[in-house]
């Protein structure tokens, strides 16, 4: 299974008037620091504060009447959870979300506020996949994966399609586009939209150092499953292995994977607040971190980055700002 540009265009039509067409921003301080022109796609301004709404709605709006009556179930640390919860609310569908007990409070509260039922689990001792499958089997609800689903990927790809359209309106073609990478759904949709629009544009996925399964998979030439011994502030990017469908796409459409560390990520969160006036969660800031810390030389060129989410709790946010008061 794969996704093509036409699938993404169909998803864009379904999302028209429903999803927010987020703007494409520029920042003089960022451009000056990097000696480049950088366009910023702030999906932290999307419904539920993350790009995940795009894929969730594209998947759920295509359910049959019978499927809608039985509801949806998903597992997620928070952004996919909220995306499914809000899409389900708009479509009049019940939703059950399997969430880790250590998920950020802001994400759990957001999911509940949108009307979904939460089933908490322990990351260390329980399998969210098994729990989700059991709920689906018992209720008949449709299980919606966070990333390894062609309709979800196509929905996320609308973000990449918008980037190319918005740049075209400005008479601009980027040299490179950088996107956060967890399970690879956003990256798969975005890279497909970009490469099928203009194959010369380079696409990069960015991962936190303790969850660099895509980078390792590229080096090995096959999907690698990691066993992280350390955590990460990027709860949205904690996939231990690329998805089967997403890797089938990203292994062909992504030029390379970049890795950033926790300090670089915290610095980027603070930079986004001070200079871009945006609240960005750690997982949403990794592409910005990659540029700020010279993981890719774009000097003299043009790049676009995705800030994929802004769901960060106040304590974590304050810690980043204290750690880097003058980023």
Residue ranges and CATH numbers for the domains of the chain are 5-50+150-323 (3.40.50.1100), 53-143 (3.40.50.1100)
Sign of CA dihedral 34, 39, 45, 50: negative
What pLDDT is attached to residue 78? 77
DSSP-derived pairing of the beta strands 302-307 and 176-180: parallel
d(CA 195, CA 204): 12
114-160 pLDDT, tens per residue?
Answer: 999 999 999 888 988 899 999 999 999 999 998 999 999 999 999 99
Instruction: Report pLDDT digits (tens) over 311-320.
Output: 999 999 999 9
Secondary structure letter of residue 116 according to DSSP: P
Distance, in Å, from the CA atom of 234 to the CA atom of 165, rounded to the nearest integer, reads 29
pLDDT at 15: 98
**Closest to 5 (Cα-Cα) out of 156, 222, 196, 137:** 196
Distance, CA of 151 to CA of 156 (rounded, Å): 9
Which sign, positive or negative, has the C-alpha torsion 4, 9, 308, 141?
A: negative
Are 78 and 107 a contacting pair, CB within 8 Å? yes
Give the CA radius of gyration of the chain. 18
Q: What is the H or E stretch that residue 41 is in? A: strand 37-42
Ranges of residues in the chain whose predicted pLDDT is under 50: none
Whether the pTM exceeds 0.75: the reply is yes
**Would you state the structure tokens that stand for residue 302, as one six-digit string?**
């043009």
Tokens at 288, concatenated: 């910005």
d(CA 181, CA 218): 13
* Distance from chain centroid for Cα 105: 19
Res 75: pLDDT: 87
What distance in Å separates the CA atoms of residue 242 and residue 298, rounded to the nearest whole number?
27
Can you say how many angstroms the Cα of residue 323 is from the centroid of all Cα atoms in its chain? Answer: 25
Residue matched to tokens 């499927």: 67
Which residues have C-beta within 8 Å of that of residue 261, sequence separation ≥ 6? Answer: 208, 209
Q: According to the model, what pLDDT value does residue 252 have? A: 97
Residue 104 is predicted with a pLDDT of 82
Predicted pLDDT of residue 102 = 86
Residue tagged 């908490």 (tokens): 120
Q: What tokens does 231 get?
A: 């955590």
pLDDT at 289: 98
Query: Phi then psi for 2, rounded to 5 degrees?
Result: -150, 180
Residue 202 phi/psi, 5-degree rounding, is -85, 140
């Amino acid at each position: 299974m794969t996704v093509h540009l036409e699938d993404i265009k169909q998803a864009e039509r379904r999302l028209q008037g429903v999803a927010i067409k987020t703007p494409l921003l520029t920042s003089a301080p960022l451009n000056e620091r990097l000696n480049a022109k950088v366009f910023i796609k702030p999906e932290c301004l999307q419904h539920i504060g993350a790009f995940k709404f795009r894929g969730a709605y594209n998947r759920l709006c295509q359910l049959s009447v019978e499927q809608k009556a039985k509801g949806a179930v998903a597992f997620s640390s928070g952004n996919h959870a909220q995306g499914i919860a809000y899409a389900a609310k708009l479509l009049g569908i019940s939703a059950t979300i399997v969430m880790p007990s250590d998920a950020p409070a802001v994400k759990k509260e957001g999911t509940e506020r949108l009307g979904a039922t939460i089933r908490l689990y322990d990351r260390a001792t329980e399998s969210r996949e098994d729990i989700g499958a059991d709920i689906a089997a018992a209720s008949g609800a449709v299980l919606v994966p966070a990333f390894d689903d062609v309709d979800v990927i196509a929905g996320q790809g609308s973000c990449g399609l918008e980037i190319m359209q918005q740049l075209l309106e400005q008479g601009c073609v980027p040299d490179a586009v950088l996107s956060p990478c967890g399970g690879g759904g956003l990256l798969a949709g975005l890279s497909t939209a970009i490469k099928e629009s203009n194959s010369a544009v380079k696409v990069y996925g960015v991962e936190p150092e303790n969850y660099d399964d895509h980078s390792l998979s590229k080096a090995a030439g096959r999907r690698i499953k990691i066993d992280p011994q350390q955590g990460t502030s990027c709860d949205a990017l904690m996939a231990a292995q690329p998805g089967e469908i997403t890797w089938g796409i990203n292994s062909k459409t992504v030029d390379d994977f970049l890795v950033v560390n926790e300090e670089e990520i915290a610095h980027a969160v603070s930079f986004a607040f001070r200079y871009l006036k945006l609240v960005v969660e750690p997982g949403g800031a990794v592409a910005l971190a990659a540029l700020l810390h010279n993981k890719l030389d774009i000097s003299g060129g043009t790049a676009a980055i995705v800030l994929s989410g802004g769901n960060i709790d106040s304590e974590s946010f304050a810690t980043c700002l204290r750690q880097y008061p003058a980023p």
